[in-house]
Amino acid sequence: MLLLIPTGLTGSVKTPGAYSEVRYAQARGGIGSIPRYVLLVGYKVGSAATDYEIFDVTDPTEGITKAGEGSELAGMIETAFQTDGVLVKACAVPEPSGGAQAALDIVVSGTAAKAGSFSFWLDDEYFSIGFQSGATPTQIGDLVETEIAARANIFCSPNNVTGTVTNTALNKGARGNSHIAYLDDLAGLSGTGVTVALSGGTALANGAVPFAGGSGVETITTVLNATLAGRYDYTAWGANTSTEVAAISAQGSSKGGPFGPGPENMVFGHNGTQSAASTLSQNSCNQALGQVVWQLGRTHPSKLAAAMASYRSVIEAAPVTDLGDPNHRFDREVLPGVPSHFRNEHIPSRTVTDVCLNSGVTPIGTRNNLAVIVLAITARSLDGATPDYRVLDVSKAVVPQRVREHIDDVWENEHAVANPHVAPDPPDGKLPAEGVSTPKLWAATINAELARFGDTEEGQLLLEDPAGNLAVVQYNATLGGGCLVANIPTKVLNQNHLTATVVRQIG
């Protein structure tokens, strides 16, 4: 049997090293302490950061200042740091050349016959406005403008003209159209003669009104070139058009190959319709390393991506096993930095979440007035046009990554050091000379490591039946002047998501 060789590895490769890759949805055939960074990629505005600069963010206030307060990237930084212990890098993307800013009007009409109040949301920012009897639309509009302008790191700039408060996104670009406004409590207007309305894009099913008029996208190839060389375990993207997601997904997948800097778990957000989120996931991403997170008409997509990528980067690195916690069960866990739905009736039903989970979308629900992850899944749901859920949970993608890293680490720092030479297996069952690695010796080493992560009493609950899924190693004389080629099956231990029970009353 000829074993699989990592893509692109040929006899011309002579540089010493461990060359490996993970192939997802395949037929059967000391890294826990590594810091796991999340890279936030979003628009800057009038900032100290240079175009496409990638910088470390150790303090959120400093990071927001560098990205430009109120910018998309600043919002992503603020959201990321809602997860304790997150390690953040940021890529400052310039606004699209020639783009336009999105805007939305809050329109106040009528002079107040008595004192009253109303409240509204701009994305995840809540505002409550009280006014006195006799207040005119202009005066009430001034109150609205003052409240919005005083909010730190707000994504828009307000301007009141005779009761019409125009809120203009600070960043240019079509992504500004994903900002939303929502009138929350208008009961305080009863009997006042004052009305408040929103004027922007087409209202969503939950009553939220998106901003409108934003146009332009960045040159995604330039952004990808800036992020190509570095290794980032998790990336959160402001970009979420079909063209951008497809290009990002392709590069992220290639970076996980044997010659890339390492696998990259790419997270995208969506706050439009469920069907649009599913189309984005299936048609543009469909990657084991991709994740599309959806919450209708609430959190801006860039912040959804930042929240999920940041939370996963911390949780999946937690010291639960020697490989971290890559088989973590995220069911109904609170997602830091993301607000709950406006109303209980806006929470997606089981029917809707099932549609999401069958089309590569991670839905956000609400429980006890907190935003929760319904189920964390990858964007891969199709094999061509055929449904394929072999890499459903994000753990199905991350555990093989960690196994790969661990085996590479064992080879680099232990096995190759103790065995600086390599040869085929000796004939007639003879033992190899000391310091010589052979297929049987390397296979035995790998399988002993896999056994540590198995579903046994002593195991670390990452792999199912490692004794029945053994690595196979062969000697290849054409690779590197002599190379051991290993194929390692990793059957990730399934997570316990649901139970089925029938209670029968008898008699």
Residue 25's pLDDT band, with cuts at 50, 70 and 90, is low
Average of per-residue pLDDT across 4-20: 77
Q: Residue 29 pLDDT > 60, yes or no?
A: no
Alpha helices, H only, 347-455: 350-357, 394-410, 416-418, 439-452
Average of per-residue pLDDT across 391-411: 95
SS (HEC) of 93-143: ECCCCCCEEEEEEEEEECCCCCCEEEEEEECCEEEEEEECCCCCHHHHHHH
Secondary structure class of 209 (helix, strand, coil): strand
Ranges of each domain in the chain: 31-94+218-396, 101-210
Question: Which pLDDT score, from 0 to 100, does residue 167 have?
Answer: 98
Residue 110's pLDDT band, with cuts at 50, 70 and 90, is very high
Q: How would you classify residue 477: left for phi > 0, otherwise alpha for psi between -120 and 50, otherwise beta? A: alpha
Q: Could you give the angle at which helices 72-80 and 60-67 cross, rounded to 10 degrees?
A: 170
Q: What is the pTM of this model?
A: 0.93
Q: How many residues does the chain have?
A: 507
Q: Residue 455 pLDDT > 60, yes or no?
A: yes
Residue 1's pLDDT band, with cuts at 50, 70 and 90, is very low
Range of weakest confidence among 11-25, 126-140, 398-412, 482-496: 11-25
Average of per-residue pLDDT across 413-429: 92
Q: Residue 439 pLDDT > 70, yes or no?
A: yes
Q: Residue 45 pLDDT > 90, yes or no?
A: yes
Question: Which pLDDT score, from 0 to 100, does residue 459 have?
Answer: 79
Residue 19: CB atoms within 10 Å: 19
Residue partners of 233: CB distance under 8 A and separation at least 6: 36, 37, 38, 262, 263, 264, 265, 313
Alpha helices, H only, 235-390: 242-255, 274-279, 301-315, 350-357
Residue 3's pLDDT band, with cuts at 50, 70 and 90, is low
Question: Which pLDDT score, from 0 to 100, does residue 2 have?
Answer: 53
Question: Which pLDDT score, from 0 to 100, does residue 480 have?
Answer: 86
Q: Residue 362 pLDDT > 50, yes or no?
A: yes
Residue partners of 478: CB distance under 8 A and separation at least 6: 11
Question: Which pLDDT score, from 0 to 100, does residue 26 have?
Answer: 61
Instruction: Give 18's Cβ-side CA count (13 Å radius).
Output: 18
Give the separation between CA 286 and CA 290, rounded to whole angstroms: 7
pLDDT per residue over 47-72, tens digit each?
Answer: 789 999 999 999 999 999 999 999 99
The CA-based angle 405-392-395, given to 5 degrees, is 30
What mean pLDDT, rounded, does the chain reach? 94
For residue 135, which amino acid is it?
A
Give the separation between CA 268 and CA 178, rounded to whole angstroms: 13
Give the separation between CA 503 and CA 276, rounded to whole angstroms: 39
Q: How far, CA to CA in Å, does 389 sit from each of 57, 286, 355, 360, 394?
A: 36, 11, 13, 9, 11
Q: Between β-strands 116-122 and 125-131, what pairing exists: parallel, antiparallel or unpaired?
A: antiparallel
Give the separation between CA 137 and CA 158, rounded to whole angstroms: 15
What fold is seen in the domain 101-210? Answer: Baseplate Structural Protein Gp11; Chain: A, domain 3 (3.90.1160)
pLDDT per residue over 247-303, tens digit each?
Answer: 999 999 899 999 999 999 999 999 999 999 999 999 999 999 999 999 999 999 999
Q: Residue 27 pLDDT > 70, yes or no?
A: no
Of 193, 205, 238, 210, whose CA–CA distance to 96 is shortest? 238
